[in-house]
């Protein structure tokens, strides 16, 4: 049987990808950011998953205003790094897992989540930057990501975006789906985006270190309460783009301590926690949780 064994949470700041692609990781500005992922890269090697279920948001890349899916699951065999305007990132293409992805889609739709199934999608920094942070620099031609990835895109661009509570419930449905897959697979689920940042207007550059860390504390220890955070709190406290944090709740909801919407099992172990300001406009948050 397949099993979700761990969850990884990380910001997916595009400038981090650019710093890696342009060889700037040793600059003073960037050193502390990447140092926060040294543990994580080793952990990825020691705990190599068979599949990563990667929750991210598309940033007006694969999805224009023609069609805006609330939740979209990628069931294709592969996904190309997107050209977001600067040219595609020089990273390996992303290999999917069509069979597990289709299984999850079927199970989750039957659990009353109204997914959009996507068979053609270029993946932007929201998906590739977390992979780069966790796996290090890879040659786009000769290297490969360590395992297949199922991209799961959440609309956080056009309001209304799904509620934290809905995301948290979805995580539970995804775990149920994975649990019912009959092949033995070690699955990691990643929640990406955030933390506090605002990319627009006179309020651009907003960072809220206290709120971010309090939110992290609560997400770990009281995920049900955290999932009830209303949208407006994210906007007001963590900046207009801080709303991306609802995606972390999908990964958190998929952990095994959550049963029927409540904390009922043993708490996950916090293997690693990191917080740094800034990366470009953004506060970087990162967490690794292992199921017990």
Partner 1 sequence: MSLEKPYLDVPGTIIFDAEQSRKGYWLNQFCMSLMKAQNRERFKTDERAYLDEWPMTEEQKQAVLARDLNWCMRTGGNIYFLAKIGATDGKSFQQMAGSMTGMTETEYRDMMIQGGRSVEGNRYVGEDGDAQAHRQPQGAAGKKV
Q: What are phi and psi of 230, to 5 degrees?
A: -70, 155
228-267: which residues touch a copy of itself (CB under 8 A)? none
Instruction: Judge whether 197 counts as a catalytic residue.
Output: yes
**Cα separations (Å) of 94 from 76, 178, 208?**
10, 20, 33
> Please, which residue, 99 or 217, has the CB nearer to partner 1?
99
Contact in structure between 91 and 16 (CB atoms under 8 Å): no
Residue 112 interacts, among Fe ion, partner 1, a copy of itself, none and using kind-specific CB cut-offs from 5 to 8 Å, with a copy of itself
CA distance linking residue 27 with residue 19, whole number of Å: 9
How many chain residues are in contact with a copy of itself, going by CB under 8 A? Answer: 28
The answer to whether 56 contacts a copy of itself (rule: CB under 8 A) is no
Q: How far is the CB of 238 from partner 1 (least distance, A)?
A: 8
Contact in structure between 52 and 67 (CB atoms under 8 Å): no
Residue 115's closest CA among 177, 172, 170? Answer: 170
Residue 194's closest CA among 138, 151, 251? Answer: 251
Residue 191's closest CA among 126, 240, 121? Answer: 126
The answer to whether 103 contacts partner 1 (rule: CB under 8 A) is yes
Q: Which stretch binds a copy of itself (CB under 8 A): 2-10, 113-121, 138-146, 235-243?
A: 113-121
The answer to whether 123 contacts partner 1 (rule: CB under 8 A) is no
227-266: which residues touch partner 1 (CB under 8 A)? 231-232, 235-237, 240-241
Work out the burial of residue 260: count CB atoms within 10 Å of its CB; fewer than 13 is exposed, 13-18 middle, 19 or more buried.
exposed
The answer to whether 60 contacts a copy of itself (rule: CB under 8 A) is no
DSSP string, 138-168: --TTT---SS-EEEEEE--SSSSPPPHHHHH
The answer to whether 82 contacts partner 1 (rule: CB under 8 A) is yes
Instruction: Judge whether 188 counts as a catalytic residue.
Output: no
**DSSP 8-state assignment for residue 47:** T
Pairing status of strand 3-10 against strand 282-290: antiparallel
Residue 280 interacts, among Fe ion, a copy of itself, partner 1, none and using kind-specific CB cut-offs from 5 to 8 Å, with partner 1
Among the listed residues 12, 103, 197, 276, the single catalytic one is 197
Among the listed residues 12, 97, 125, 276, the single catalytic one is 125
The residue ranges that bind partner 1 (CB under 8 A) are 14-15, 18, 29, 59-61, 64-66, 75, 82-87, 98-99, 102-103, 105-106, 117, 119, 157-160, 180-183, 196, 198-209, 211, 231-232, 235-237, 240-241, 277-278, 280-281, 283
The residue ranges that bind a copy of itself (CB under 8 A) are 65-72, 105-106, 109-110, 112-120, 158-160, 162-163, 166, 169
């Amino acid at each position: 049987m397949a099993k979700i064994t761990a969850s990884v949470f990380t910001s997916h700041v595009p400038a981090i990808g650019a710093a890696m692609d342009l060889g700037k990781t040793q600059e003073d500005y960037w050193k502390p950011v990447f140092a926060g992922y040294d543990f994580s890269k080793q952990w990825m090697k020691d705990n190599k998953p068979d599949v990563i279920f990667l929750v991210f948001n598309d940033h007006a890349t694969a999805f224009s205003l023609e069609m805006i899916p609330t939740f979209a699951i990628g069931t294709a065999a592969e996904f190309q790094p997107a050209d977001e305007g600067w040219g595609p990132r020089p990273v390996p293409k992303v290999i999917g897992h069509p069979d597990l992805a289709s299984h999850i889609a079927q199970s989750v739709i039957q659990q009353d989540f109204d997914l959009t199934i996507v068979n053609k999608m270029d993946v932007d920094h929201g998906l590739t930057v977390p992979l780069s942070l966790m796996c290090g620099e890879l040659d786009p031609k000769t290297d490969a990501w360590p395992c297949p990835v199922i991209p799961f895109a959440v609309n956080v661009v056009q309001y209304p975006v799904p509620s934290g509570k809905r995301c948290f419930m979805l995580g539970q449905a995804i775990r149920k789906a994975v649990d019912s897959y009959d092949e033995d697979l070690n699955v990691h689920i990643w929640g990406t985006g955030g933390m506090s940042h605002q990319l627009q207007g006179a309020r651009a550059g907003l960072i809220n270190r206290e709120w971010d860390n309090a939110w992290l504390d609560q997400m770990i220890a009281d995920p049900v309460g955290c999932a009830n955070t209303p949208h407006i709190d994210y906007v007001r406290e963590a900046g207009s783009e801080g709303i991306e944090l609802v995606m972390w709740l999908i990964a958190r909801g998929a952990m095994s301590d959550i049963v029927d919407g409540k904390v009922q099992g043993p708490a996950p172990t916090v293997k690693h926690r990191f917080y740094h300001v800034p990366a470009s406009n953004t506060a970087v948050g990162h967490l690794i949780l292992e199921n017990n």
